[in-house]
Every structure is written in C-alpha cells, then in structure tokens.
Amino acid sequence: MEKDHGRNSHWFDVLHGQAFQGLPVNQDDGSRVYVVTVDTTAKYHWIQDRWPRLVAFNKEMNAV
C-alpha cells in the first residue's frame, strides 16, 4: 500500500514468488528494516516517485 500526496491509500498486489528487498539491522536500541526503493514507473508516478523494490523469491532463500 502506498499513500499519495493527499494521504489517500492505493493498494497493489505482490505476485506469488515476489518479496520486498530490504536490509535487517539489529542495534542496541532495537531492530529495523531498511527497504530498498526504486523509481516508480510513469504509470504510477502521480502516487509516489519511489516505492519498494520487488525481487523474485525462491525456496533456496532463507528468511532471517
């Protein structure tokens, strides 16, 4: 889900076999995930100029 500049929600499907790309970080004060973003396609640029990068997920990948 992305919110546009007017704070309206827009939902997008994530296809089977895809996942958000991110970097999990553990520090003394807790954990967080930095999400990799890419430029939005021209079709959706009016909603946001960047959004999360989707990558192919396969069974060999291990969740941390």
pLDDT tens for 12-31 read 888 899 999 999 999 988 99
The answer to the question of residue 36 being in a domain is yes
pTM of the model: 0.67
The answer to the question of residue 43 being in a domain is yes
7: left (phi over 0), alpha (psi -120 to 50) or beta: left
The answer to the question of residue 46 being in a domain is yes
The answer to the question of residue 62 being in a domain is no
Which residues lie below 8 Å from residue 10, measured CB to CB, with a gap of 6+?
Answer: 1, 2, 3, 4, 44, 47
The answer to the question of residue 22 being in a domain is yes
pLDDT at 14 (0 to 100): 87
Chain centroid to Cα 17, Å, comes to 14
The answer to the question of residue 64 being in a domain is no
